[in-house]
Homo-oligomer: A and B are copies of this chain.
Amino acid sequence: MDALGELGAIEGGGCCRLALTDDDRAGRDLVVTWMQDLGLDVRIDAVGNVVAQWGDPDEAPVLIGSHIDTVRTGGRYDGNLGVLGGLEVIESVIESGVTPARPLAVAFFTDEEGSRFAPDMLGSLTYAGGLAVEEAHDIVGIDGARLGDELARIGYLGPHPCPGRPPHAYVELHIEQGPVLEAGGIDIGVVESVQGISWTELTIEGQSNHAGTTPMSLRHDAGYAAAAIATFVRRLAEEMGPPQVATVGSLRVRPDLVNVIASLATMTVDLRNTDESALQEAEQRLAAFFPKVAEAEGVRIRARSLSRFEPVVFDSGVVDLVERTARRLGHSTMRLPSGAGHDAQMLARVCPAGMIFVPSVGGISHNPAEYTAPGDLEAGANVLLQVVLELAT
């Protein structure tokens, strides 16, 4: 994990490997080398997902997966743990001399973070048949690059078909990225479900004008409208209460000058809830606020959905197996929902799937300070090994 973390390393011990950038290519190349070193059959599909299988290549494997792309100011654990943990599991099984009834495979999926190309979990969504390859290729990133072009540029526009073959089962080991396990002194999180996610991009058009000579009553300030929406988003989450969360992560104004009223603002709103009807309520309350601001300030507001996923409930058989296995290995466990989206929720569309969480110190992630203690990484990987072996037997 430290070797992979050196690629795209940023100040503070973190990583920046936005999907399909040169740094992501470097990370992919390193992990593929490790897959080849284990003698695995490595296949790259049409959206750059990489699946490396051990055993009969014609049979559906027990698949272990996650991602190795990161956010712009990411850490070394998010995603990487699940992929490298999977490699470690396969290496351990190979070294042990045991041959399970079913093949094992490890995968990393393209653009899980969605930080460069929306929606997030793009690779696993396409793998599971939720997005057409042609549509995925035509997506344009925050830097204006087309996803299909970037795949070709970095050499990861693979020959294998997508959607991919449904695995026999899917298991993902991941850091919690929240404070719950650490706060409760729990070793292993048994993930029952994943929050629903709704991402909206807003474009607000006002009128640029002189900051000194334009009376307040005559302004059409796109920046003020954006700020009013951002404060409303916070109030919405507070009024609805947990588990509703709401975030304005991106906010830009133009021309972005001290003495010019903003003519244009773009911003994103990220809403999440484990309950679909509550998530819909949050979306509706937000949408109802836009015309109020637009009318009061005399601006035009356009909203576009960037990503929308309903909450997902994992297969009870896999969930029970994770819990039973962790306890058998002597770990304390807790059932919990995932606040973040994960590739596992896409694979859950096509096979029994589940997740294993290990604690995140301080609940911090998407931050260079993201950290999970070595003992917790090992505990998670051991649970993953035993779960996978049982599923493959």
Contact = CB atoms under 8 A, between A and B. Distances in A.
Q: Which 8 A-B pairs have the closest CB atoms?
A: A213-B339, A178-B213, A227-B230, A211-B247, A258-B268, A212-B340, A212-B339, A227-B227
A249 interface: yes
A72 interface: yes
Contacts of A242: 215-216
A99 interface: no
B224 A230 contact: yes
A212 B227 contact: no
Interface stretch (A87-95, A113-121, A163-171): A113-121
Given A212-B270, A247-B261, A73 B255 contact: yes
A257 B115 contact: yes
A257 to B, nearest CB: 5
A179 B228 CA distance: 26
Residue among A71, A212, A237, A339 with max Cβ neighbours from chain B (10 Å)? A212
Given A228-B231, A251-B227, A259 B208 contact: no
B120 A259 contact: yes
Interface residues of A, number: 71
Contacts of A367: 207-209, 263
Interface stretch (A60-68, A147-155, A280-288, A358-366): A358-366
A249 B245 contact: no
A333 interface: no
A201 B256 CA distance: 13
Given A223-B249, A256-B249, A177 B212 contact: yes
Interface of A: 71-73, 113-115, 118, 120, 176-179, 195, 197, 199, 201, 207-216, 218, 221, 223-224, 226-228, 230-231, 234, 237-238, 242, 245-263, 268, 270, 272, 306, 338-341, 363-367
Contact of A248 (B72, B224, B254): B224
A249 B227 contact: no
A363 B228 contact: no
Contact of A253 (B251, B259, B260, B338): B251
Contact of A213 (B210, B227, B230, B363): B363
A261 B268 CA distance: 11
Given A213-B177, A259-B366, A367-B207, A234 B224 contact: yes
B209 A245 contact: no
Contact of A259 (B176, B201, B228, B247): B247
Contacts of A238: 216
A209 B365 contact: yes
Given A178-B213, A209-B366, A213-B339, A256 B247 contact: no
A384 B392 CA distance: 91
A234 B113 CA distance: 35
Contacts of A263: 73, 367
Given A209-B365, A231-B224, A249-B211, A255 B71 contact: yes
Contacts of A114: 258-259
A263 B228 CA distance: 20
